[in-house]
Structures are given as C-alpha cells and as structure tokens.
Amino acid sequence: MKKLYYPLILLMSFAIVISACKKDEDDDDPTTGGFSIAGYSQDAVSFAHMAGALVAVTDHAGAQVTQVLTDAGGNYLVTGITAGNYTLTVSKEGYQSQVANSVVVGNVNLPQAFVGFMPVDNTVTVPVGALCGIVLDANGIALADATIAISAEDETLTNGYFATVMSDASGKFAIGAIPLESAIKGDLIPAFKIKTIKGNFVDVSHNVIIAQNTLVVKNVDLVNQNVPGNTIFTEGFETTSAWTYDGFWHSQQNATILNSNVTSEYVKLAPNDNSGGHIASAYAGMYCAWYGEAQTGSFIGEAVAGQSQWSGGTGVSSNHGSLTSPQISLVGLNQASLSFWSWFEIESVNPNASGYDIMEIHILDVGTQVTTSLGRLNPYSDPILDNRAALPFTSGGFNKAPVWANVEYDLSGYVGADIQIIFEFRTIDGLYNGFRGWLVDNILVTDKAPLKAANTTKVYGP
C-alpha cells in the first residue's frame, strides 16, 4: 500500500522570473547613475503571489538603502538606485525570510535589475534555497528556450539532475525550493551543479553553493559550438526503424491527444501547465517514442469503474514495457556517450527511485547478453505535501508542467562491445496511473564522453 506522506523532501518549484545577475562576478565596480530594481515575491510551494511582502535593500557596506512593499500581484519596484552591489531581503509574516546577495545594479546589459523571490512558509522545516539567472550569448543578447538543469555537484547525492526549467523569451529562469539535504545521507549537499544547454551552443556547467533561505543569482554565458564528437548512432523516430516496442511504447506522431483523466477529474494539471492536458509534441520533427495510449492520453490502461474524484487514476492492473534500440557498435572507440531528450509525467505519491512509475535506462551487451542499468529518471525522495494523489511529478519537478529535458550518460564502460539501449517503464501497481507517461526523442550516441569537469566554475558561496 502506498503512503501519501514520505519523511524526506523533494520540494521543487520552478518559475520563470526576471532576476538581477551580474555578467562578471569579479566586476564589483559598475558605472554610476540612476537605476532601479524590480521583481516579485511568490510562494515557492503554492506559487501564490505574495501581496504586502517587505523588500529591503542594503548596500555593499550593509547600510539600508530603502524598503518597499509588494503590491496585490506580489510585484515591487525600487527606483533611484545608484550603481553598485546590493543585498535584497524579502519578509512576510508566516514566511521564512529569503536573501538575494550580490545583486549588481548598473550592468550595461541589464539596465534595470530584476529579482524574483520564492520564499517558503514556516511549515517547511527542511533547509531549502533558490537559484535564478539569465542566459546570454557572447554578445550579451538574451537566449530564450535554453534548458537549465540542476543536480548536486556529486550527482550520486540527487540521482543526477533533479530539476529542469526553460529560459523564457527574455532568457530568464529560476529554480526555487531547492532541497539542500541529501536524501541518501541526510547531510547538507556541499555544492550544486547547473548545466545549461541550447542548440548550436556549447553546453556549460557551473558549480554553485546554495545556503538555506538564500536566492543565488547567476548569469550564464553561452558561446557557439561545433558538433561535439562524431555521431555513432542517432534516432529521431521520423522514419520506420528497427526499434522494438513493447507494452504501451510506440512511435507517436504529433497529434492533439488529451488525457481523459483530466476531464474525468481523476488527475490535475500543474499550476503552470498551459497544455490543457494534451500530450507534448515531439522535441524535434513530427515523431517521438511514447509510453502511453492515445485512447486515454495516459498509461492507466483499463480504468477501474466508479473511482472517486482526484483519485490519481486507478487502473485494473499494473503495466510495463520496453523500448529497445537496434544493435549499436562501440567497437574501436576509446570513449562514448548517450544523450536523449525526455518528457514525462508520473505520479507524485511515491515517484522515488525505489517507488513506482519507474523510468529506467539499461544497456544490453549483445556479446555477453548481460543487461546493466545506466540509471533511473525518478527522484531520490518523494514530495512531503499530503493530498497529492491527483498531482503530477514531471520532468519539470513536483506539481510543475513537464518540459523536454536533456539526459546524458557515459557509455565508456561499454566501448569495444556491440550494445542495445533499453528504455523501460513499469508502474509496479495500478494506483495513480492517470498521468501522461514518458516521451523520448533525439537519441544520440557519440564517440566522446560526457562533459564533466570542463567548463565548470564555482561562482558563488559563503
């Protein structure tokens, strides 16, 4: 029987915000003049706009400059600010104060500094922090639709990248309510890693140290790239290929497919989900692989009759299936990597890596017929909120809209062999199966190992 409460937390909230982040962390002497700071305060869990929150501004020496209250929409504006380095703090009764350090005002690329606060209320007892920034190209121009993912610097502490967002039309992004404790060891995570990806640009990783109730601001600068490594194998599902589909896995053409469990009021959409309950289109082109059924828009299978409202969608039985690649030769290589784009929506009751709705990637060594696991996309721990049977856990996080997220694994341990890649989905049981499932697209195997330490810089920390 599943639990509706789990003592560990993976509270992850994401919002697109406008934030003040300096382009060069070593530049502490911007030009002088009259400038302003604008932004908002939003509940990191419910995403409610926080009216009447107090935003205080202090200068580099710690002297108070001014303070303002957020309006009915949770927004604020501070004017008449001299160029310099500032600290902003937001506070409101019932909430834990949140601090944004090293906010630079006067950057020529950001004439008005913006900071979006995401504090948690006093019922949250575990340490959390937040991160925000803006993605720019080498000329300081904002880049929309970049993928920003976060993991512990030591990925084993968080089962890899546990949260993903996309930059908005102005290049801005934010990740809030980031859990600072490891679900494995229970210790504070010493540092986090932010990976930023956008087509035709070099992937960039930065290490950041996030303290409790702080909002770390960080710009990301991307430069144009050449294609990294040589392509050994690629699949976009645009044509008929030798993949094997089992269970609910199939090649899905872009179509208007609605999750009927939304209209039946078995499951809810995330607050920022504007899809209307439809499955996503392919990451690229017209086709992708999907674990789900078109007739329901989900992986519920045959639904139990007469189930209650917001049940999460109960199926008559569990289900599972595998998506298996044709044979891929890694003979003659010194290193190799696998990357693909993933979009998923599963249950949030027990989505953890030892729980339910498991999404796992395996490698089959064709010669030895030994199958090993590369990893699971499930989080290491469950959300802490109660009454979440109808709420989704997605590639965007708990109760957040799903996004296409990039996933990468090192295949260097398999060089010299012929392999097959297996994407496996298994529900384990029939409970909470009314969600939209797992989509995979743009699978790529190259002769280069994943970028780990290169392009990695510690940029902020106590």
Instruction: Dump pLDDT digits (tens) for 348-387.
Output: 999 987 889 999 999 999 999 999 999 999 987 777 677 8
For 171, half-sphere exposure in the C-beta direction (CA atoms, 13 angstrom radius) is 21
What is the per-residue pLDDT for 18?
Answer: 33
Q: pTM score, two decimals?
A: 0.78
Confirm if 51 and 42 have CB atoms less than 8 A apart.
no
Specify the residue for token string 């970049």: 146
Per-residue burial over 22-54, b = 16 or more CB atoms within 10 Å of its CB, e = otherwise: bbebeeeebeeeebebbbbbbbbbebebbeebb
Confirm if 333 and 415 have CB atoms less than 8 A apart.
yes
Residue 155, helix vs strand vs coil: helix
Residue 371 burial (CB count, 10 A): 12
Closest CA to 342 of 172, 220, 164, 206: 164
**Least confident residue range of 70-84, 186-200, 218-232, 401-415:** 218-232
What is the per-residue pLDDT for 460?
Answer: 30
Range among 34-48, 187-201, 409-423 with highest mean pLDDT value: 409-423
What is the per-residue pLDDT for 203?
Answer: 84
| DSSP notation for 425-439 | EE-SSSTT--S-EEE
**Least confident residue range of 1-5, 53-57, 87-91, 436-440:** 1-5
Look up the CATH number of domain 231-446: 2.60.120.200
Range(s) of the chain covered by CATH 2.60.120.200: 231-446
For 177, half-sphere exposure in the C-beta direction (CA atoms, 13 angstrom radius) is 28
Specify the residue for token string 């990294």: 228
> ∠ CA(243), CA(255), CA(292), 5° rounding?
50
What is the per-residue pLDDT for 184?
Answer: 67
**Least confident residue range of 37-41, 149-153, 226-230, 441-445:** 226-230
| Residues 400, 351: Cα–Cα separation, whole Å | 14
Tell me which of 406 and 45 has the higher pLDDT. 406
Confirm if 298 and 258 have CB atoms less than 8 A apart.
no
455 CB-contact burial (10 Å; exposed 0-12 / middle 13-18 / buried 19+): middle
What is the per-residue pLDDT for 349?
Answer: 94
Range(s) of the chain covered by CATH 2.60.40.1120: 13-221
Residue 242 burial (CB count, 10 A): 9
Under the banding of pLDDT at 50, 70 and 90, the label for residue 96 is very high
What is the per-residue pLDDT for 397?
Answer: 86
What is the per-residue pLDDT for 340?
Answer: 95
* CA distances to 73, 126, 354 from 185, in Å: 40, 14, 16
What is the per-residue pLDDT for 56?
Answer: 98
| Residues 303, 259: Cα–Cα separation, whole Å | 13
Look up the CATH number of domain 13-221: 2.60.40.1120
What is the per-residue pLDDT for 296?
Answer: 98
| Residues 294, 279: Cα–Cα separation, whole Å | 9
Under the banding of pLDDT at 50, 70 and 90, the label for residue 434 is very high
Under the banding of pLDDT at 50, 70 and 90, the label for residue 153 is very high
